[in-house]
């Protein structure tokens, strides 16, 4: 049945329907996700091995972890903001973009062991693999700055941990996860709940520390998803496959 709405909205809904059909029925998209996940995890391991081979003191090590924590929260939040407001369903990445939007329709994940969540959700981080590959290339040079290599290695790992943090915010009732969220190390359910109930806010999902910065950027760049991309999956009925 045709959906009521302006012609451009109907067009976007039709484009979304086509893109999500490809996402769920063309095996190449699933295989691409596994390939990206494998590349990200291997690059994270290689960067950690390179970092741990370089000399550093405890203070510099701690500073690198803190820097990586802030950077991972910020950068992953910005990518989330960009993706939530991206409706280019006819581009080659269109099926991946449509698949990304399903989280707003079906916020709860399939329950899985956390290492599996870490791996599978790393497959959606297409942008991370080239960043880590470039970082590994520069980290292998003799003049590589140890602090930068440590920070990049932890940034890579924490970018995937952010996916686990987001999963826990939706699926977990574990007291340990709640305690880590209260301590500010992981994402709190309340903070992330705003992203789903309000519009154009709370995009960050490692621990939400950089939310105010991303909220400010989002207000400048976008009008929000509630009257944007959230309207495009109106026909989607399947249970999803996250």
Min CB(225)–Zn ion separation in Å: 7
Does the protein bind Zn ion through residue 215 (CB under 5 A)? no
Min CB(217)–Zn ion separation in Å: 15
Within positions 6 to 65, which residues make up the interface with Zn ion, using CB under 5 A?
none
Min CB(224)–Zn ion separation in Å: 11
Min CB(80)–Zn ion separation in Å: 6
Copy the structure tokens of residue 21: 């059909």
Q: Which is nearer to Zn ion, 84 or 163 (CB)?
A: 84
Q: Which is nearer to Zn ion, 84 or 87 (CB)?
A: 84
Please give, one letter per residue, the 3-state secondary structure of 153-218: HHHHHHHHHHHHHHHHHHHCCCHHHHHHHHCCCCCCHHHHHHHHHCCCCCCCCCCCCCHHHHHHHH
Q: Which is nearer to Zn ion, 16 or 150 (CB)?
A: 16
Give the per-residue contact string, 68-107, with Zn ion (x = CB under 5 A; - = no). ----------------x-----------------------
Q: Which is nearer to Zn ion, 12 or 192 (CB)?
A: 192
Min CB(162)–Zn ion separation in Å: 11
Residue 176 to residue 172: CA distance in whole angstroms: 10
Number of residues that bind Zn ion (CB under 5 A): 1
Interacting residues toward Zn ion by CB under 5 A:
84
């Amino acid at each position: 049945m045709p959906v009521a709405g302006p012609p451009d909205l109907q067009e976007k809904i039709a484009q979304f329907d086509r893109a999500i059909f490809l996402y769920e029925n063309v095996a190449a998209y699933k295989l691409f996700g596994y390939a990206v996940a494998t590349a990200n995890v291997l690059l994270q391991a290689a960067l950690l091995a390179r970092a741990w081979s370089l000399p550093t003191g405890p203070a510099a090590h701690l500073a690198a972890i803190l820097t990586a924590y802030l950077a991972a929260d910020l950068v992953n939040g910005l990518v989330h903001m960009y993706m939530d407001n991206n409706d280019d369903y006819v581009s080659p990445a269109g099926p991946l973009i449509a698949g990304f939007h399903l989280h707003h329709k079906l916020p709860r994940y399939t329950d899985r062991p956390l290492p599996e969540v870490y791996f599978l959700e790393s497959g959606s981080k297409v942008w991370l693999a080239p960043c880590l590959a470039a970082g590994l290339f520069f980290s292998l040079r003799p003049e590589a700055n140890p602090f930068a290599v440590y920070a990049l290695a932890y940034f890579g790992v924490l970018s995937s941990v952010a996916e686990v943090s987001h999963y826990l915010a939706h699926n977990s009732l574990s007291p340990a996860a709640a305690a880590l969220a209260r301590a500010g190390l992981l994402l709190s359910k309340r903070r992330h709940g705003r992203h789903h109930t309000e519009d154009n806010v709370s995009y960050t999902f490692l621990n939400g520390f950089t939310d105010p910065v991303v909220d400010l950027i989002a207000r400048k760049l976008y009008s929000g998803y509630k009257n944007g991309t959230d309207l495009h999956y109106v026909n989607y009925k399947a249970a999803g496959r996250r």
